[in-house]
């Protein structure tokens, strides 16, 4: 495993959209992501996330699935129609409650351990390898 600081150096500039309706969890995850990425935008619902996404450009979308107004899966589907190459990661708390009906780059189960989070970082790094700005 490469040094985390080396990886960070390669991906810290990527723009992240993080969508999660649960505020406490949102804060925690955002704190973690903030250690890696410089620019993170927050959305608290699928609809809000989609509006932000369409009005701006992001490299990475990390989203929850179960949200009140628009589900994460639906949001990702619509985003993929516009920007199929963006890195999409889904954090799901639902093992069996609902089938995950979206093709994404990475699916992580809540609660995520360190291994899962490192996997996310490495997957992003792999996705954008050689695409440094």
Residues near other proteins, by CB under 8 A: 4-5, 8, 21-22, 24-25, 28-29, 31-32, 35-36, 66-69, 91, 93, 97, 110-114, 117
Q: Which is nearer to other proteins, 111 or 130 (CB)?
A: 111
How many whole angstroms separate alpha carbon 44 and alpha carbon 67? 8
Instruction: Quickly list H helices, 1-133.
Output: 4-11, 23-36, 46-55, 72-82, 114-127
Nearest distance from C-beta of residue 88 to other proteins, angstroms: 19
How many whole angstroms separate alpha carbon 133 and alpha carbon 114? 28
Nearest distance from C-beta of residue 2 to other proteins, angstroms: 11
Q: Which of 85, 20, 89 is nearest to 57 (CA)?
A: 85
Q: Which is nearer to other proteins, 32 or 128 (CB)?
A: 32
Nearest distance from C-beta of residue 3 to other proteins, angstroms: 8
């Amino acid at each position: 495993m490469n040094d985390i600081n080396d990886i960070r150096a390669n991906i810290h500039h990527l723009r992240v959209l993080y969508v999660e309706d649960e505020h406490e969890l949102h804060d925690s995850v955002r704190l973690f992501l903030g250690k890696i990425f410089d620019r993170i935008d927050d959305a608290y619902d699928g609809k809000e996330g989609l509006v932000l996404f369409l009005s701006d450009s992001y490299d990475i979308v990390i989203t929850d699935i179960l949200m009140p107004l628009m589900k994460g899966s639906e949001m990702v589907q619509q985003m993929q129609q516009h920007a199929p190459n963006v890195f999409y990661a889904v954090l799901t708390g639902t093992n069996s409650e609902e089938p995950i009906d979206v093709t994404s780059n990475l699916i992580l189960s809540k609660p995520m351990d360190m291994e899962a989070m490192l996997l996310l970082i490495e997957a992003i790094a792999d996705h954008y390898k050689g695409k440094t700005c």
